[in-house]
Amino acid sequence: MDGLLLLQKLYDTSIPLVIFDPQYRGLFDQLKYGNEGKKLKGRFQLPQMPDTVIASFLKEIDRILTPSGHVMMWVDKFMLINSIQSLVAGTSLKVVDFITWNKGRIGLGYRTRKKSEYLVIIQKPPVRIKGIWNVHNIPDVWDEKIINKNHAHSKPIELQKRLIEAVTKMGETVVDPTSGGYSTLTAANEVGRNFLGCDLLG
Ligand SMILES: C[S@@+](CC[C@H](N)C(=O)[O-])C[C@H]1O[C@@H](n2cnc3c(N)ncnc32)[C@H](O)[C@@H]1O
């Protein structure tokens, strides 16, 4: 299912946390590798999301989030540096923090080789911490190796569990409109939260 359709079906101000991992084209445009070879073939076969599409997802997310709710968005380094502010420009959302995920294995890159990804923490106003963010020992650099990778872009389950616990209560619902291998479903269920998510590819 298209994640935008899923978001459009949800009520205004009903969801405390969206974890959003868009299939961002930017990194590959930046790297401009001529022949990515077998290693990246799987990634190129996934539906790509231009900035305009990511911005429309964020507009819907803004609408469904509860006041002081969060969207946590996975980005690569180019998106972190170049695009975040313009992507949230048409919304009420405020960037409040980010986490560097050290994947523990080295990837590609012309200058430096890619070993990390970033999770940008974005909050809907009113921006508040007290009574909203309830776990206070999460470091802003997180080491976690993916062991059972079931998707080209699997994300760390332990980190996602900690973050879900930080900003939601037992029985509340976490939404992921581009679920990929459904690491967010696993994370949400393991900490007793409900989950709503989908992926264009199933
Ligand atoms: C970066 S991956 C998500 C990986 C996921 N967080 C995980 O841990 O497995 C992004 C996913 O977005 C999906 N996608 C792209 N456009 C979409 C859309 N409009 N609606 C739903 N899913 C979409 C792709 O098929 C891809 O599986």
pLDDT at 177 over 70: yes
What pLDDT does 36 receive? Answer: 47
Percentage of the chain surpassing pLDDT 90?
A: 82
Question: Is-cis flag, bond preceding 126, omega within 30?
Answer: yes
- Top mutation candidate among 20, 21, 23, 145 for ligand 1, by most atoms within 8 Å of CB: 23
Give the C-alpha separation, 177 to 197, whole Å. 5
Ligand 1 site, CB within 6 A:
2-4, 21, 23, 46-47, 49, 151, 153-155, 177-181, 183, 198-201
What pLDDT does 29 receive? Answer: 57
For 37-84, the pLDDT digits (tens) are 444 545 556 788 999 999 999 999 999 999 999 999 999 999 999 999
Q: What's the CA-to-centroid distance between 199 and ligand 1, angstroms?
A: 5
Q: What's the CA-to-centroid distance between 179 and ligand 1, angstroms?
A: 5
What is the pTM for the complete model shown? 0.93
Higher pLDDT, 197 or 110: 197
- Identify the H or E element spanning 102: strand 94-102
Query: In which band, very low, low, confident or very high, does the pLDDT at 164 lie, cut at 50, 70 and 90?
Result: very high
Q: Which positions ≥6 away from 111 have C-beta within 8 Å? A: none
For 91-134, the pLDDT digits (tens) are 999 999 999 999 999 999 999 999 999 999 999 999 999 999 99
Q: Domain extents for the chain?
A: 3-197
From the candidate CATH numbers 3.30.2130.10, 3.40.50.150, 3.40.50.300, 1.10.10.10, the one assigned to the domain spanning 3-197: 3.40.50.150
